[in-house]
A and B are shown apart, each in its own frame.
Chain A
Amino acid sequence: MKYLYFPGCSLKNYAKRYEETAVAVAKALGIELIELKRWNCCGAVSGLAEDSVFHHIAAVRDLVRAQEQLDEADSNKLVTVCSMCYRVLASVNNRLKHNPEDLDTINEFMSPEEYNGGIEVVHLLQIIKDDIGFDRIAEFTKKDLSNIKVAPYYGCVLVRPKETAIDDPNEPTILEELIKSTGATAVENPLRTECCGSYNVVTNRELVKHRILNLLKPIMRENIDFLISVCPLCTFNLEFGIKANKKELHGREIPVLYFTEFLALAFGLDDKLEKEVLQAVNI
């Protein structure tokens, strides 16, 4: 299957390991991700004000780019990997589908470019779940992960708000199902949908440090091998918080893996993983 793919800025910068493994894992599963020829930042946040559409322009333009390239793909789905990009593109798409007047306003501003509302924004996790099926993951798994204990961490935006949530906002299970499908154990993580501290890491590092410590406390009793994340910003904050709380965590440096790195590991795609990650995980 061929899908159009929107990487987003983070995946081209400090989350390059996320993109590398996402594309490799998709390929192993028989999915070709076609990166949009032209794309811009998704907008990073989407405005919530009901009387303003201007802050949706960035996202809409990406949807137009996908629309222009639709004939190269087998589906109208635009695949995202970063959960922030997913949320912004999906929210904006959602809003415009339900508010044709807003779409008209935006199209008039963007003229001569025009979005027809025909794109469906999805997350790679959904593609793996719905189009491949978690029951088939075992076929692709090359490593014995039965001794591995993994804690999933969703963060906020993949499961909130409910209009764009890819799973139950309160009790999501998609990551747990994915982990189990490889044969590894998914540790129950009660704070898996709590916020990581988000952009506060720029201006208030202390706050993020404390937040991460609180997030990790309930799972510290479990002897987990690593955490799994779906978001570049969550990963950044988790990695920062684990380092900053070295004393509080009694020197334990829990690795944080993107879900695609976890799958690459399970599939034996070690050459797609960064040396540091492989060393830290040591499977």
Chain B
Amino acid sequence: MTAQKTVKKLKVKMVSIYIMGKEYKVPEGLTIHKAMEYAGYKLVRGVGCRAGFCGACATVYRFKDDYRLYTGLACQTTVKDGMYLVILPFVPAKKPGYDIEKLKADFSSIVKLFPEVTRCVQCNTCTKVCPQEIQVMDAIQMILRGDIKSAAELSFDCIACGICSLRCPAEIIHYNLFQLVRRLNGKYLTPKSQHLVQRLKEIEEGKFDKELEKLVKMGPEKWKELYEQRVIE
């Protein structure tokens, strides 16, 4: 009873949102995800980490009397009055397979796998819709001029939500392209970290085999105990 009273006292402002065309009254300040749950939806697709990192909840929305199409992540964007929205849980996209060992970090390797990248007309729509505020078109342009490193750096914050690829009039699949670019950058253009090479050598030589074996034999109870006792820096 007291709980109910508290809610009444707070007088939460309700706003109207339209989920796939149907109107719901939801409390102001909720994220789109929480508002959908409030409205009775059980989130199965179009939901993931709920922390803005996984890219599973790409959402597009408009307001009445506003021609602009807005985008955001359902877990990060709060509802506003008059919001017409839909979550796009999946973006159909080609994803060519490749052997990274056989590729070079250059334009010709990329264009063979993603020939459509040359169709960019530089309309900049991709940049405008990116919820991560990446300079998407600039990254595509870096690929076209063969600057793989800059393309990788510009696209570093990409979470592969796919909104850019849905909006692109040239039908470029930016996020798969960017993943390739970052892989090429990591493999061929970034200096190798020597301590990693050293550690891998130690692992291969069996330096940690005994310790690992000891751990495996301990079993779950002992693991839990060790976990509780671990030193946190």
B and A form one assembly: yes
Q: A12 and B145: CB pair below 8 A?
A: yes
Q: A13 and B122: CB pair below 8 A?
A: no
How far apart sit A70 and B2, CA to CA, in the bound complex (Å)?
Answer: 64
Interface string of B119-146 (1 = CB under 8 A from A): 0111110000000000101100100111
Residues of B contacting A138 with CB < 8 Å?
A: none
Q: Is B81 part of the binding interface, using a Cβ–Cβ cutoff of 8 Å?
A: no
Q: A41 and B124: CB pair below 8 A?
A: no
With A38-B138, A41-B141 in contact, do A12 and B146 touch (Cβ < 8 Å)? Answer: yes
Count chain A CB atoms within 10 A of each CB in B121, B122, B144, B147 and give the residue with the most: B122
> Nearest B residue to A55 by beta-carbon distance?
B121
Residues of B contacting A110 with CB < 8 Å?
A: 124
With A13-B107, A38-B138, A40-B138 in contact, do A57 and B145 touch (Cβ < 8 Å)? Answer: no
How far apart sit A110 and B123, CA to CA, in the bound complex (Å)?
Answer: 8
Q: A13 and B121: CB pair below 8 A?
A: no
Mostly, the B contact residues are loop
> Nearest A residue to B147 by beta-carbon distance?
A12
Residue from the list B121, B138, B141 in contact with A57, Cβ < 8 A: B121
Q: Which of A188-234 contact B (CB under 8 A)?
A: none
Q: B124 and A13: CB pair below 8 A?
A: no
Q: B124 and A61: CB pair below 8 A?
A: yes
How far apart sit A144 and B122, CA to CA, in the bound complex (Å)?
Answer: 47
- B143 CB → nearest A CB, Å: 10
Using C-beta atoms within 8 Å of the partner chain, give the interface range for chain B: 10 to 19
Residues of A contacting B145 with CB < 8 Å?
A: 9, 12-13, 41
Q: B144 and A61: CB pair below 8 A?
A: no
Residues of A contacting B141 with CB < 8 Å?
A: 39-41
Q: Is A26 part of the binding interface, using a Cβ–Cβ cutoff of 8 Å?
A: no
How far apart sit A40 and B124, CA to CA, in the bound complex (Å)?
Answer: 10
How far apart sit A57 and B170, CA to CA, in the bound complex (Å)?
Answer: 14
Interface string of B95-131 (1 = CB under 8 A from A): 0000000000001000000000000111110000000
> Nearest A residue to B137 by beta-carbon distance?
A40
Q: Is A43 part of the binding interface, using a Cβ–Cβ cutoff of 8 Å?
A: yes
> Nearest B residue to A14 by beta-carbon distance?
B146
With A12-B146, A40-B137, A40-B141 in contact, do A61 and B107 touch (Cβ < 8 Å)? Answer: no
Q: A41 and B138: CB pair below 8 A?
A: no
Residues of B contacting A113 with CB < 8 Å?
A: 124
Q: Is A58 part of the binding interface, using a Cβ–Cβ cutoff of 8 Å?
A: yes
- A112 CB → nearest B CB, Å: 10
Q: B123 and A41: CB pair below 8 A?
A: no
Q: B144 and A9: CB pair below 8 A?
A: yes
Residues of B contacting A57 with CB < 8 Å?
A: 121-124
How far apart sit A57 and B135, CA to CA, in the bound complex (Å)?
Answer: 16
Residues of A contacting B137 with CB < 8 Å?
A: 40
Interface string of A37-65 (1 = CB under 8 A from B): 01111010000000000110110010000
- A236 CB → nearest B CB, Å: 15
> Nearest B residue to A7 by beta-carbon distance?
B145
How far apart sit A58 and B135, CA to CA, in the bound complex (Å)?
Answer: 15
Residues of B contacting A43 with CB < 8 Å?
A: 121-122
Residues of A contacting B135 with CB < 8 Å?
A: 38
- A36 CB → nearest B CB, Å: 11
Residues of B contacting A55 with CB < 8 Å?
A: 121
How far apart sit A109 and B138, CA to CA, in the bound complex (Å)?
Answer: 18
With A9-B145, A13-B145, A13-B146 in contact, do A41 and B122 touch (Cβ < 8 Å)? Answer: yes
Residues of B contacting A61 with CB < 8 Å?
A: 122, 124
How far apart sit A109 and B137, CA to CA, in the bound complex (Å)?
Answer: 16
Q: B121 and A58: CB pair below 8 A?
A: yes
How far apart sit A41 and B124, CA to CA, in the bound complex (Å)?
Answer: 12
- B29 CB → nearest A CB, Å: 28
- A127 CB → nearest B CB, Å: 23
- A178 CB → nearest B CB, Å: 28
How far apart sit A40 and B143, CA to CA, in the bound complex (Å)?
Answer: 11
- B4 CB → nearest A CB, Å: 47
How far apart sit A110 and B145, CA to CA, in the bound complex (Å)?
Answer: 23
21 of the cross-chain contacts (CB-CB < 8 Å) are A9-B144, A9-B145, A12-B145, A12-B146, A12-B147, A13-B146, A38-B138, A39-B141, A40-B122, A40-B141, A41-B122, A41-B145, A54-B121, A54-B123, A55-B121, A57-B124, A58-B121, A58-B122, A61-B122, A110-B124, A113-B124
A39-B141, A109-B123 given; 15 more Cβ-contact pairs under 8 Å: A9-B145, A12-B145, A12-B146, A12-B147, A13-B146, A41-B120, A41-B122, A41-B145, A43-B121, A43-B122, A54-B121, A57-B124, A58-B121, A61-B122, A61-B124
Residues of A within 8 A of B (CB): 9, 12-13, 38-41, 43, 54-55, 57-58, 61, 109-110, 113
